[in-house]
């Protein structure tokens, strides 16, 4: 009854049903709040498990199809469109607020919530079960023994039934339209291969009337990251954090999920980079607001920056090896990104408070340097099983998702993204060669011409797509000139 190699335990909790009989489990059986075990699995029976529960691949699946007349049958049988996946470790103080914000979502999308406890010691797992029993939506509560957030998120993704996987953290709360804003674009048709979405991540304490000096600093510090990582000049390639990230399930599975070797940081950056290198685009939903609780003390914040630097050094070292980059190539984009931030902050320093913030910036750099020095000797490179996607080799199962034009760009070594990355606004196509750092921009008009020509269209087709007169000789001449320029740059198939 157990999936080979499985390690997580999941519970499907449905309100309003009494636990009136015990399902049969091979091996030791003991019920009414006790535990049944077989191998690595533990299955906990409790009073809120549906009376028709059946063991399925190591967990409970309520109301199997042979109960068609049950009032709850549609809840169990119908697959949700979206699966929200939360990794939680020692989040007992914050989990209730997260659940409340998810329960208050205003969306017509059907969704389930999967919470994976990652070796908590503060009662997070027991609390999650109690909170889930009070929810009207489908909540699945599981345990993952392997340490690390990426392992917990991957375990949740394996249990997910939705077409869209939305990742967030247990210390986040969300605006009422968060799920609608971040998931809906991935269900719609786009003229470019959109496969992931990042939302707007706001510091939770920023809503207080009188935030402390340190809190104001952190708010500005992380706001820059949120503005920079998905726009025209990200630090190497676009990415979004797993506290506010949505991905098409087939793409997530095809790319192998998150790298579990990087247990606390950089695995989200790595996944988004692999997504870009394999020909897909990560967009941005500014209205998908998640409020993320930041570190409460300077010491904890500096330790976080040290940890980020440690894993980012391992990340960059891995990509330098996989893409055969020079030592400075991948890091140059980060230096340029940080340099732009530093210059803009220096120009904006007009008072003593902002001058203090620049002093904190210096201490952040010291913490980061410490992390890099430690990584030089102890950091582990990425999982070699994911090497193919890091080299830009798109899995066969995902290749049909790329149209002829984008397949050509990908085969030529280009990564690309929309700028601005907001899917609701018009924009340009940014092209970037990771191996050479070459950049090229197609404005909205040139992008449209490129798409028509890539699909074997004629200049007249492009004119109509641009809402121009397809018999105007000057218009057609301009389109032909753009086409010639695109062919000269080898951007057309």
How does pLDDT run across 318-331, given as a tens digit for each residue?
Answer: 998 999 887 666 67
Q: How confident is the model at residue 465 (pLDDT cuts 50, 70, 90)?
A: very high
Asked if residue 30 is part of any domain, the answer here is no
Asked if residue 42 is part of any domain, the answer here is no
Task: Assign residue 188 the CATH number of its domain.
Answer: 3.90.550.10
Is the per-residue pLDDT at 448 higher than 90? yes
Is the per-residue pLDDT at 109 higher than 70? yes
In Å, what is the CA distance from 341 to each residue of 81, 220, 228, 292, 335? 39, 11, 9, 22, 10
Among 330, 357, 388, give the residue marking a domain's end: 388
Asked if residue 116 is part of any domain, the answer here is yes
d(CA 185, CA 194): 8
Same domain, 382 and 413: no
pLDDT digit string (tens) for 116-154? 999 999 999 999 999 999 888 888 999 888 889 999 999
Same domain, 131 and 203: yes
pLDDT digit string (tens) for 149-199? 999 999 999 999 999 999 999 999 999 999 999 999 999 999 999 999 999
Asked if residue 420 is part of any domain, the answer here is yes
Same domain, 461 and 348: no
Is the per-residue pLDDT at 280 higher than 70? yes
CA dihedral 340, 341, 342, 346 (to 10 degrees): 100
Q: How confident is the model at residue 229 (pLDDT cuts 50, 70, 90)?
A: confident
Asked if residue 204 is part of any domain, the answer here is yes
Asked if residue 211 is part of any domain, the answer here is yes
Asked if residue 48 is part of any domain, the answer here is no
Same domain, 370 and 481: no
Average pLDDT score over residue span 375-387:
90
pTM: 0.82
Same domain, 345 and 415: no
Same domain, 204 and 273: yes
Q: What are phi and psi of 142, to 5 degrees?
A: -140, 170
**Degrees, nearest 5: CA angle 189-195-196:** 120
Same domain, 88 and 202: yes
Same domain, 452 and 355: no
What pLDDT, on a 0 to 100 scale, did the predictor assign at position 54? 28
What pLDDT, on a 0 to 100 scale, did the predictor assign at position 473? 95
Same domain, 243 and 346: yes
Q: Give yes or no for a contact between 462 and 453, defined as CB atoms under 8 angstroms apart.
A: yes
What pLDDT, on a 0 to 100 scale, did the predictor assign at position 341? 67
Residue 415: give the domain boundaries: 403-488
Same domain, 107 and 212: yes
What pLDDT, on a 0 to 100 scale, did the predictor assign at position 10? 34
- Which tokens in the block code for residue 69? 């007349």
Among 361, 388, 415, give the residue marking a domain's end: 388
State the average pLDDT for the chain: 81
Same domain, 477 and 380: no
Is the per-residue pLDDT at 16 higher than 70? no
Asked if residue 245 is part of any domain, the answer here is yes
What pLDDT, on a 0 to 100 scale, did the predictor assign at position 90? 93
Query: How many structural domains comprise the chain?
Result: 2
Q: Give yes or no for a contact between 201 and 226, defined as CB atoms under 8 angstroms apart.
A: yes
Same domain, 365 and 410: no
pLDDT digit string (tens) for 394-431? 999 999 999 999 999 999 999 999 999 999 899 999 99
């Amino acid at each position: 009854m157990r999936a080979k190699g499985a390690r997580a335990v999941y519970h499907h909790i449905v309100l309003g049903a009494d636990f009136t009989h015990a399902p049969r489990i091979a091996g030791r059986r003991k019920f009414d709040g006790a535990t049944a075990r077989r191998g690595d699995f533990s299955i906990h029976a409790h009073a809120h498990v549906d009376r028709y529960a059946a063991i399925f691949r190591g967990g409970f699946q309520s109301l199997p199809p042979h109960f068609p007349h049950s009032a709850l049958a549609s809840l169990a049988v119908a697959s949700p469109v979206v699966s929200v996946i939360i990794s939680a470790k020692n989040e007992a103080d914050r989990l209730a607020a997260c659940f409340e914000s998810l329960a208050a979502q205003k969306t017509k999308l059907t969704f389930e919530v999967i919470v994976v406890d990652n070796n908590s010691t503060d009662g997070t797992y027991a609390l999650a079960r109690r909170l889930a029993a009070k929810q009207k939506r489908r909540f699945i509560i599981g345990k993952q023994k392997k340490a690390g957030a990426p392992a917990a998120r991957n375990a949740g993704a394996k249990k997910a039934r939705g077409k869209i996987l939305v990742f967030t953290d247990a210390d986040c709360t969300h605006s009422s339209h968060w799920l609608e804003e971040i998931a809906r674009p991935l269900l719609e048709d786009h003229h470019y291969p959109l496969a992931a979405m990042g939302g707007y991540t706001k510091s939770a304490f920023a809503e207080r009337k009188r935030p402390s000096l340190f809190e104001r600093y952190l708010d500005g510090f992380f706001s820059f990251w949120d503005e920079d990582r998905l726009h025209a000049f990200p630090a190497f390639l676009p990415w979004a954090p797993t506290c506010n990230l949505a991905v098409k399930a087939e793409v997530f599975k095809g790319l192998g999920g998150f790298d579990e070797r990087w247990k606390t940081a950089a695995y989200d950056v790595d996944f988004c980079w692999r997504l870009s290198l394999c020909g897909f685009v990560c967009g941005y939903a500014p209205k998908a607001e998640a409020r993320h609780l930041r570190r409460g003390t300077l010491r904890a914040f500096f330790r976080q920056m040290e940890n980020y630097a440690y894993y980012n050094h391992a990340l960059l070292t891995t990509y330098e090896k996989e893409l055969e980059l020079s030592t400075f190539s991948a890091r140059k984009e980060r230096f340029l990104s940080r340099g732009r931030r530093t210059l803009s902050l220096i120009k904006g320093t007009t008072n003593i408070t902002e001058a203090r913030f620049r002093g904190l910036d210096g201490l952040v750099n010291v913490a980061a340097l410490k992390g890099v020095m430690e990584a030089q000797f102890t950091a582990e490179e990425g999982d070699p099983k994911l090497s193919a996607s890091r080299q830009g080799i798109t899995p066969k199962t995902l290749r049909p998702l790329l149209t002829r034009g984008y397949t050509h760009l990908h085969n030529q070594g280009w990564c690309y993204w929309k700028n601005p990355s907001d899917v609701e606004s018009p924009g340009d196509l940014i092209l970037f060669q990771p191996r050479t750092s070459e950049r090229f921009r197609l404005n909205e008009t040139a992008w449209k011409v490129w798409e028509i020509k890539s699909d074997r269209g004629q200049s007249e087709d492009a004119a109509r797509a641009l809402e121009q007169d397809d018999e105007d000789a000057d218009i057609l001449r301009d389109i032909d000139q753009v086409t010639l320029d695109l062919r000269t740059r080898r951007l057309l198939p």
